[in-house]
Amino acid sequence: MEFTDVRSEDGVTRRSFTLSVAGEDVPAVIWAPEGASGPRPLVLMGHGGSQHKKTPGIRARAVQYAQRLGYATLAIDAPGHGDRISRQEAATLMREVGARVRGEAPAGFTPERMRQMGERSRLAIPEWKAALDAAQGFDFVGSGGPIGYWGVSMGTAIGVPFVASEPRITCAVFGLAGLREGATDMAQAAAKIAIPVEFVFQWEDAVAPREAGVALFNAFASAQKTMHINPGGHMDIPDFEGASWERFFVRHLGAAVTAKQAVAAE
């Protein structure tokens, strides 16, 4: 795998690369402690609708996980997102998703469009698997370390079927999504997930109604699963949930090393 861009800042190195999956170019990025080598925990982060692989929330946590825990973090652009669409398409998508999050029904979200988005989400699964294969080929990740998944909203819509089909992933953070009546694919995928899950949900979310959120939480087969409910809308997850995700990963991905230790251990 050839890196198209490598930058180091504040003790963290970010490498960009492009996967080829079923004829599609899939842009990917991985963060790790600067100078790290050898196996380490890996977190896969799936961005939300209209966002992209280096969206601020993902970037900030990837850097912190590398600095504080010595983790590697992998992200890819979902189908129809990020560098896979033009700037103009991205701006239109952002307006449409913004309207949906505010509870407005934007003209763009026709039933046909929603069906297409569902189709596209399915494409993401082999892309995630290819990205994970590639990451495990890097000497600073390896195939021995534990792997977690994080993704809310579209990151859950894609992540639930992906994680259900991916035995390498041993814990997952989902949220901001629900199980609507008749969504049998999603229900079946959730029922296959038995790893520890932390599920974050907003109680006044215009995108995911309460009943649908509780139904998705109930659908996970995991013996260890927690649902965190907070007031407010789709974009209002409190900061302390970010701290909770980090502790969740520390609990399940094994002993953490600091970036300094990761470098010193070379």
Nearest to 173 by CA among 247, 82, 80: 247
CB atoms within 10 A of CB 159: 31
Q: Does 240 bind a copy of itself (CB under 8 A)?
A: yes
Residues 220 and 186: their CA atoms lie apart, in Å, by: 10
Task: Report in angstroms how near the CB of residue 83 gets to a copy of itself at its nearest.
Answer: 36
Q: Does 231 bind a copy of itself (CB under 8 A)?
A: yes
Q: Does 226 bind a copy of itself (CB under 8 A)?
A: yes
- What's the distance, CA 246 to chain centroid? 14
Nearer CB in complex with a copy of itself: 27/213? 213
Nearest to 159 by CA among 135, 134, 195, 133: 195
Matching residue, tokens 């600073």: 140
How many chain residues touch a copy of itself (CB under 8 A)? 16
Helices and strands in the chain, H and E counts: 8, 9
Residues 153 and 124: their CA atoms lie apart, in Å, by: 14
Nearer CB in complex with a copy of itself: 130/177? 177
Nearer CB in complex with a copy of itself: 116/224? 224
242-261 positions binding a copy of itself, by CB under 8 A: 243-244, 247, 251
CB atoms within 10 A of CB 69: 24
Task: Report in angstroms how near the CB of residue 24 gets to a copy of itself at its nearest.
Answer: 39
Task: Report in angstroms how near the CB of residue 55 gets to a copy of itself at its nearest.
Answer: 24
Residues 152 and 234: their CA atoms lie apart, in Å, by: 10
Q: Does 64 bind a copy of itself (CB under 8 A)?
A: no
Out of 6, 105, 229, 265, point to the residue binding a copy of itself (CB under 8 A). Answer: 229
Instruction: Decide: 137 and 115 in contact? Cβ < 8 Å.
Output: no
Nearest to 74 by CA among 41, 40, 45: 45
Q: Does 228 bind a copy of itself (CB under 8 A)?
A: yes
Task: Report in angstroms how near the CB of residue 251 gets to a copy of itself at its nearest.
Answer: 7
Task: Report in angstroms how near the CB of residue 182 gets to a copy of itself at its nearest.
Answer: 23
Out of 224, 260, 261, 265, point to the residue binding a copy of itself (CB under 8 A). Answer: 224
Task: Report in angstroms how near the CB of residue 230 gets to a copy of itself at its nearest.
Answer: 5
Binding site for a copy of itself (CB under 8 A): 217, 223-231, 238, 240, 243-244, 247, 251
